[in-house]
């Protein structure tokens, strides 16, 4: 393109010099032609810009991270003149389209179309733009290039990937699943909930029922197996999507993978996190519960203004937390608040595993490492390898 422009500029300057010395239709005509070439080229580009049509879609209703979905895009020329050079660039930060390169230029003859069927692969969970990012048009003399952004971008809502773990490294599953809970026969029920049809009538708490006027049953935690506690740090670490998307994606993948792993081992998992500054809790002990949990994780929104200190302090006050066989903290940052929490957990003789989601391995940990298991998990790569 630069070469063509330089040649045209030189010829134009020569013609300008020519009309200063020679009159007549030849010299003026040549000058006019050389002046009109860039004008008409721009006009052509403008026409192509106005008339060019493109369509893109992906047919799958739900997109899951790292699972390809069919993607179609069509470039169409409905006019009587050819579109000499059309290049399409795609969003590539968080997604990838198979078989399509940003460097490919297309020529569209009159009343022709180019249809491509391929696959879209999203790398991270979240909501972001996918598909065609911009279109670059070139004229037939390759003098000018016009780039314009896609006016109707495709937005994809991507769910996190479900990774199935066969085993966890350095974790004795037998001890986790068989260790009896520190529970005495006269320990009080920790929770009471409403009666659900199917519950054992022997578990009905008559006092509470009389008080509340509705059937209530005891949640006898002492009778159930000891579960796993999982704490998620849902503070958004950056406003830059290139930074926070991979981190959030990995946090959720880790949570889902671990929960699935324990669920498959018949070990209930209690999850704790904060969303919109409110503490949330979810127990996953069945397939249905896992489905609800997965939906909750897919919709989970991280918050920049989230304050970790009150969250950890609130958790520390949950005494039943220390009755878990294992506590897992999934966090992108091991800071002072996390260290205090970790210390408290270990003081209560509870095992703690910290999954540090970061591409940089934290070397100076604010607590004694020997009491706590720290797994550094980068934001990319095979999760199973790190767990």
Total interface residues for another protein by CB under 8 A:
37
- Least Å distance between CB 9 and another protein? 16
Task: Pick from 60, 66, 112, 219 the residue near another protein by CB under 8 A.
Answer: 112
Beta carbons within 10 angstroms of residue 213's beta carbon: 8
Beta carbons within 10 angstroms of residue 227's beta carbon: 23
Based on CB atoms, which residue is closest to another protein, 70 or 110?
110
- Least Å distance between CB 121 and another protein? 23
The single-letter DSSP state of residue 214 is S
Site string for another protein, 130-149 (x = CB under 8 A): ----------xxx-------
- Least Å distance between CB 147 and another protein? 16
Task: Pick from 2, 20, 59, 370 the residue near another protein by CB under 8 A.
Answer: 20
Kindly provide the b/e burial profile for residues 39-55, where b requires at least 16 CB atoms within 10 angstroms of the residue's own CB.
eebeebbeebeeebebe
| Pairing, β 269-275 against β 278-284 | antiparallel
Based on CB atoms, which residue is closest to another protein, 140 or 386?
140
The single-letter DSSP state of residue 349 is T
Chain-centroid distance, C-alpha 57: 20
* Range in contact with another protein (rule: CB under 8 A) among 51-59, 77-85, 251-259, 333-341: 77-85
Task: Pick from 71, 73, 84, 294 the residue near another protein by CB under 8 A.
Answer: 84
| Pairing, β 216-219 against β 69-77 | unpaired
Task: Pick from 6, 9, 13, 22 the residue near another protein by CB under 8 A.
Answer: 22
Closest C-alpha among 363, 385, 361, 366 to residue 376: 361
Phi, psi (degrees; rounded to nearest 5) at 368 = -75, 120
Query: E strands, 243-315, where?
Result: 269-275, 278-284
- Least Å distance between CB 106 and another protein? 5
The residues, any chain, with a CB within 8 Å of residue 243's CB and separated by 6 or more, are: 237
- Least Å distance between CB 7 and another protein? 10
- Least Å distance between CB 102 and another protein? 13
Task: Pick from 33, 157, 210, 212 the residue near another protein by CB under 8 A.
Answer: 33
Based on CB atoms, which residue is closest to another protein, 104 or 281?
104
Task: Pick from 78, 102, 105, 303 the residue near another protein by CB under 8 A.
Answer: 105
Based on CB atoms, which residue is closest to another protein, 28 or 72?
28
The residues, any chain, with a CB within 8 Å of residue 272's CB and separated by 6 or more, are: 229, 230, 231, 232, 279, 280, 281, 315, 318, 321
Residue 21 touching another protein (CB under 8 A): yes
Based on CB atoms, which residue is closest to another protein, 110 or 310?
110
- Least Å distance between CB 28 and another protein? 4
Beta carbons within 10 angstroms of residue 345's beta carbon: 24
Based on CB atoms, which residue is closest to another protein, 19 or 374?
19
Residue 26 touching another protein (CB under 8 A): yes
What does the alpha-carbon distance between residue 185 and residue 204 come to, in Å, rounded to a whole number? 17
Closest C-alpha among 284, 293, 309, 286 to residue 252: 293
- Least Å distance between CB 72 and another protein? 17
Question: Which residues make up the interface to another protein (CB under 8 A)?
Answer: 4, 18-30, 32-33, 36-37, 40, 43-44, 80-82, 84-85, 104-107, 109-110, 112, 114, 140-142
């Amino acid at each position: 393109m630069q070469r063509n422009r330089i040649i045209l500029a030189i010829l134009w300057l020569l013609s300008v010099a020519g009309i200063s010395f020679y009159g007549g239709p030849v010299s003026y005509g040549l000058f006019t032609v050389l002046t009109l070439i860039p004008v008409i080229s721009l006009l052509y580009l403008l026409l192509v810009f106005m008339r060019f049509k493109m369509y893109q879609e992906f047919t799958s209703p739900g997109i899951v991270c790292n699972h390809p979905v069919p993607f179609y895009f069509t470039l169409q020329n409905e006019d009587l003149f050819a579109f000499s050079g059309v290049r399409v660039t795609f969003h590539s930060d968080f997604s990838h389209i198979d078989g399509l390169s940003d460097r490919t230029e297309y020529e569209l003859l009159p009343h022709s179309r180019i249809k491509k069927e391929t696959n879209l692969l999203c790398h991270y969970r979240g909501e972001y733009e996918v598909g065609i990012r911009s279109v670059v048009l070139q004229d037939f003399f390759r003098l000018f290039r016009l780039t314009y952004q896609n006016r109707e971008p495709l937005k994809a809502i991507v769910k996190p990937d479900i990774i199935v773990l066969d085993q966890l490294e350095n974790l004795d599953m037998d001890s986790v699943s068989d260790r009896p809970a520190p529970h005495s026969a006269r320990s009080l029920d920790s929770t009471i909930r409403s009666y659900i049809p199917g519950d054992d009538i022997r578990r009905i708490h008559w006092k509470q029922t009389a008080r509340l006027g509705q059937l209530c049953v005891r949640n006898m935690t002492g009778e159930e197996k000891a579960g796993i506690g999982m704490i998620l740090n849902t503070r958004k670490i950056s406003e830059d999507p290139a930074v926070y998307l991979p981190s959030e994606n990995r946090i959720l993948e880790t949570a889902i993978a671990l929960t699935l792993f324990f669920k498959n081992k018949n070990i209930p998992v209690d999850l704790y996190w904060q969303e919109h500054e409110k503490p949330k809790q979810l127990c996953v002990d069945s397939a249905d519960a896992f489905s609800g949990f997965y939906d909750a994780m897919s919709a989970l929104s991280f918050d920049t203004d989230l304050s970790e200190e009150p969250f950890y302090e609130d958790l520390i006050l949950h005494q039943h937390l220390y009755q878990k066989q294992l506590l897992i903290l999934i966090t992108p940052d091991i800071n002072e608040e996390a260290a205090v929490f970790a210390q408290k957990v270990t003081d209560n003789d509870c095992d703690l595993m910290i999954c540090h989601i970061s591409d940089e391995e934290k070397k100076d940990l604010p607590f004694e490492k020997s009491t706590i298991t720290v797994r550094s998990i980068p934001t990319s790569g095979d999760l199973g390898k790190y767990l």
